[in-house]
Structure 1
């Protein structure tokens, strides 16, 4: 389980606004004649690290569990799944703040004072890090268990099903397909990371830490190969495959959208096919 105690979306929204006010002032605040830009680079690194903390704090709400420690004389459960509407709100926040291009972190007037290149790789690491945490087997296992337990003893409270979460995630990450829009380079990188992580769920089995560590770090044990995770992931890949094929047949992707976008989508189809139908070399 993952212990949650506040409104992560609200807190992170305010936190991001503060970061976005800070970044345009970093050059001025660190300026000192005769000094290099080491202080600027360090502060910029602290900003991106804080961004990462905000995003991961929100991500914990998806498949998250509230902990209310009690003794036998106190009524009610100790562990309660985060309500479905809060989980959806968390995912909506991440779609908007974590999975779109962070232009406010990419000002060349700032970046080119301490590096000649590296921004794309930094954004890739940040974004795919959040995405991979969302698609962690333990998180999916908690969503599945909440649904299964509610089917046995319904509480009347809506459960955020794993299938709904995966569909919502796919719809957001690949929203350009419905719009017939060009896909920018950083978004293309993130979409490849999504396909890659689904591929990992189809082939890899997570290693369980020792029981003592599992309880401390909130690790949720799951045997992926025997759970519903792989059927759900296979279904997501098949749906995405179909959506990309349909998009490529429509006018925007056949005529007006840039070549890099079309090549990206064609490449995604090949990657998905390799996952769904692996062949020996």
Structure 2
């Protein structure tokens, strides 16, 4: 981290330091492997070469020194780079993965096998295009003014003019209390979360399939491979949050009087639906996580697949309620009704088709019913741990993870955000509540109940028992 001490009367930085904790090398090594091993043969080892670790450490230190110079996190920086450009040798050699070292854009997880040999750069820039502008803006003296207010008018116009010239100069503050603007997410790269994540997950599958053959020498106890395996699961969880951030929010810009950017704008309906559909796709394609060849060698219990699926449901099932907060922001909004229908069809598609359910599908339907019941305000008798089947394993977000200036507690009564520089303001603090009624939710419970009644008669085995159990629970609680 890079704290500083500032004279509150003038803003002058009086003293600043960079602190490195003892195990940062391990973190950097895990980042390099999990995010770039698909493209970089040099990181497929227990001991990554010193020059590579040193280069990554230099990146971390540069970020912290940026704080010492007074710079805040710019989490929106990397969203100005097209995803496809991150596979371009010419582009990445010039710009790296982000226009700002003050972003959390680590390494190039979009790069594919063979890209490094073509010249694609896998690391962030030493000093980005936004950083050059930031140095100039912060440290260029303004002469012939009589007050800080007069100076602010001039320096404010510098920002307005710069953004008109190139969107790379737009600042995207860090979102500590949840994602509203998908452009300003941490640990992401590229201008399209879905496209970048497709590349990222493809690479994670490739790395998982080769982990055993790449890492064996020097890892007799399997400790390093286990650590990397957990890192892969955590990286996947992070990709899920990137995609989920595109549903149920809005675009936010810092503006002043006379600026041409809107203060806020709707996330296009097509983008939100694409993100939600992709979450469904990810959820249904997680068998590769339960790699028995590796899991049998680790002192790990449980199923990584089920852990991630339970984690994903925290982002999928509440979507209609999140969407409803911003419904009607502009014409052709993504509506709660559309989200409810998409999720209902996702959850109950195998039942509608009359198929025998898998364990994952039964768990999904059970969680859907209990979440809807609780949301509608019904007291659920005899539910036990039914909301999530069993309490889901909590992802240790190490890789979300290393955040400088970390440690501020998230409290409902504290809105000041020293990391971003400005507190987050809701779009309209008087109407930021879900517009979904109890009747809206009950309609989908009744629809699911009717469907299960129709299908239970022809079902068999565990599928039949699953339907009968849920129907019994609904009968008890809906009297």
Q: In 2 relative to 1, CA 143–213 (structure 1 residues): closer, same or farther, beyond 3 Å?
A: farther
Deviations 1:46-82 (A, max 9, x none): 1110111111111111112112332221235321221
Residue 51 of structure 2 corresponds to which residue in structure 1?
A: none
CA distance in 1, matches of 2:197, 2:477: 36
Residue 178 of structure 1 corresponds to which residue in structure 2?
A: 352
Greater mean deviation of Cα atoms: 182-191 or 82-91:
182-191
Deviations 1:7-44 (A, max 9, x none): 11111111100101110111122213672122121111
CA distance in 2, matches of 1:23, 1:131: 24
Which secondary structure does the structure 1 equivalent of 2:415 belong to? helix
Residue 212 of structure 1 corresponds to which residue in structure 2?
A: 415
CA distance in 2, matches of 1:272, 1:229: 19
Given the two structures, how large is their TM-score scaled by the length of structure 2? 0.48
CA distance in 2, matches of 1:61, 1:33: 42
Q: Are positions 1:58 and 2:243 aligned together?
A: yes
CA distance in 1, matches of 2:374, 2:425: 22
Q: Which residues of 2 match residues 255-274 of structure 1 at below 5 A?
A: 258-274=460-476
Q: In 2 relative to 1, CA 92–149 (structure 1 residues): closer, same or farther, beyond 3 Å?
A: closer
CA distance in 1, matches of 2:433, 2:255: 30
Q: Are positions 1:4 and 2:182 aligned together?
A: yes
Greater share of helix residues, 1 or 2? 1
Deviations 1:232-274 (A, max 9, x none): 221111111111112224x4x2xxxx50111112222233444
Given the two structures, how large is their TM-score scaled by the length of structure 1? 0.79
Residue 238 of structure 1 corresponds to which residue in structure 2?
A: 446
CA distance in 2, matches of 1:196, 1:51: 26
CA distance in 1, matches of 2:192, 2:276: 13
Q: Which residues of 2 match residues 79-158 of structure 1 at below 5 A?
A: 79-98=264-283, 100=284, 102-115=286-299, 117-119=301-303, 122-136=304-318, 140-150=320-330, 155=331, 158=332
Q: In 2 relative to 1, CA 30–55 (structure 1 residues): closer, same or farther, beyond 3 Å?
A: same
Which one has a bigger Cα radius of gyration?
2
Q: Which residues of 2 match residues 241-252 of structure 1 at below 5 A?
A: 241-249=449-457, 251=458
Which secondary structure does the structure 1 equivalent of 2:247 belong to? coil
Structure number with greater CO (CA < 8 Å, separation at least 6) is 1
CA distance in 2, matches of 1:78, 1:41: 46
CA distance in 2, matches of 1:116, 1:53: 21
CA distance in 2, matches of 1:80, 1:7: 17
Residue 83 of structure 2 corresponds to which residue in structure 1?
A: none
CA distance in 2, matches of 1:230, 1:132: 20
Q: Are positions 1:196 and 2:196 aligned together?
A: no
Where structure 2 has 5 or more consecutive residues not aligned to the other structure, the ranges are 1-178, 184-190, 379-410, 418-422
Q: CA RMSD in A?
A: 2.8
Which secondary structure does the structure 2 equivalent of 1:174 belong to? helix
**For the Cα contact (< 8 Å) 2:289–2:305, is it kept in 1?**
no
CA distance in 2, matches of 1:38, 1:176: 40
**For the Cα contact (< 8 Å) 1:65–1:81, is it kept in 2?**
yes
Q: In 2 relative to 1, CA 7–242 (structure 1 residues): closer, same or farther, beyond 3 Å?
A: same
CA distance in 2, matches of 1:147, 1:273: 33
CA distance in 2, matches of 1:179, 1:159: 30
